Amino acid sequence: MKIHFLGTGAGVPSKYRNTQSMVFNFMQELKECWMIDCGEASQHKIMDTSIKPSKIKKIFISHLHGDHIFGLIGFLSSRSFLLNNDKSDLTIFGPKGIEDFVNFNMKISNSKLNYNITFIEYQNEERIYQDDRVQVEIFPLVHTIQSYGFKIKFKNQKGSLKVDKLKECGIMPGSIYKTIKENEEFEFNNQIYKSADFLEEDKKGKTITLIPDTVYFPELINFIQGSDIIISECTYLKAEELDLAKKHKHLNIINIYNFLNYIEFDKIYLTHISSRYDKKDIINIQESLKEKQIFIANDLDEYDL
């Protein structure tokens, strides 16, 4: 799985940062990609990646501020042209009002799509999506309008087959190997075996937590528990700007460091960066970060998760 940052800026675009959007490449795990927020010109940024719009099957919108949704209509329209009439339906998850926003703009611009959109609007639901591989939970944040965080939890996967042990029992590669992985028991030469005896330990599924626009509040710590990867807004990257972050209902680097007091995680990626910082500022701040598993994301950065 990979994360592609399309836009990493806050509020308004800057010379080096577009407004908020990112795409998860889950092709290996789920055979599809997911977009999180869709700031203005996100469709332009996608052209600089290997992501195909037709492979984006789910879009999750954190809140209805313009820097998170103003690129949505353009993306949806262009996606229709790029499909070449090969229908590929899409699901949009978002706060109440996202369906009205899309439908009104599509109607007023007389835009037509060659695929269907299913809207799932949420308010206080804890789990908004689940299948046999992954589930998505939401958590209400504290911002100037209602904003939501996301926790993407991949379920544990069965371990690899102990092929050598199977061969010792005379069980050679074939369709029976699939049967062993998918069932608790299996039969071979009139004998019943437990599948677990021929499997390595389960592979732990990753948990990815996304924290869009919010001010710091104590309950946030509960939400990030169990995370392997955190992708968080950090609009203000300097400790002396803490009061400014509170005033505008955003996070500060001090809040990010505070996470370290409560959980262990593999990596944390910071996005939604204020336009006040130029490239030199970002380089200096990145080098000064106390923890080396914290990364300031830039537009078009791509990371393996």
Contact yes or no for 258/230 (Cβ under 8 A)? no
For residues 230 and 265, is the Cβ–Cβ distance under 8 A? yes
Taken in order 270, 254, 236, 145, the sign of the CA dihedral is positive
Question: In terms of C-beta density within 10 A (0-12 exposed, 13-18 middle, 19 or more buried), how is residue 26 classed?
Answer: buried
Residues with catalytic function: 67
Residue ranges in 83-171 assigned as alpha helix (H): 98-108, 163-168
Q: In this structure, are residues 246 and 6 in contact, taking their beta carbons and an 8 Å threshold?
A: no
Yes or no: say if 82 and 46 are a contact pair by the CB < 8 Å rule: no
Rounded to 10 degrees, the C-alpha dihedral 138/69/16/250 comes to -50
